[in-house]
Amino acid sequence: NAGVMQNPRHLVRRRGQEARLRCSPMKGHSHVYWYRQLPEEGLKFMVYLQKENIIDESGMPKERFSAEFPKEGPSILRIQQVVRGDSAAYFCASSPARGGLNTEAFFGQGTRLTVV
Amino acid sequence: GNSVTQMEGPVTLSEEAFLTINCTYTATGYPSLFWYVQYPGEGLQLLLKATKADDKGSNKGFEATYRKETTSFHLEKGSVQVSDSAVYFCALGAGSYQLTFGKGTKLSVIP
């Protein structure tokens, strides 16, 4: 039973390019959460999605960041026109039901984005 | 708002030493409390959890007790191993789908 799969594991982008981070939740999970870990910091919530719906994006920067979770395929976190401050580890988690993070949370291995 | 404060690292211990990593929290309501571990180059793994006051979570020799009176959830292990070297995160989930994390404590265990 595969866990939460994120790819790529490492991503290098030049300033101004776009970054696309993918997350495939665990089988049977329909809720996806994205977190960002800045250097020397804990993880910060960014966005919560269900299939084809954004439930809460209160932690996501208003500009340049977007997320989706289509009916088919992985969840995508997209960062347009990246800047050096976007360099971080981005983690995806999934759960089988709303509120699942209060009972069980499964995290992927993360994508480490470096902007040069 | 919700917050988690954990002891500053890094922490360096000799093998078989006793480990305590302090964690205190601020939250409304009755949160669930978690410890996550992040091994070098890896993602987060749930280490243990407690969902109500006085519950004790335990796993792999680690323990933490949910103390409502002191709003604490300190992580302990009686005898650490080199393989326990990692970053440990305390987190809370308070009635929603969001987890609030502490900044993490890096543990290094030397032979």
B42 band by pLDDT with thresholds 50, 70 and 90 = confident
Beta-sheet pairing, B75-77 with B86-93 = unpaired
A96 touches chain B (CB under 8 A): no
The whole-number pLDDT of residue B86 equals 96
| CB-based contact A45 B99, cutoff 8 Å | yes
Q: What is d(CA B103, CA B111) in angstroms, rounded to the nearest whole number?
A: 26
pLDDT tens-place string over residues B63-90 = 999 999 999 999 999 999 999 999 999 9
A30 band by pLDDT with thresholds 50, 70 and 90 = confident
pLDDT tens-place string over residues A51-87 = 899 999 999 999 999 999 999 999 999 999 999 999 9
Cβ neighbours of B102 in A, within 8 Å = 42
Give the contacts of B47 (CB within 8 A, at least 6 positions apart): B34, B35, B36, B37, B59, B60, B62, B75, B88
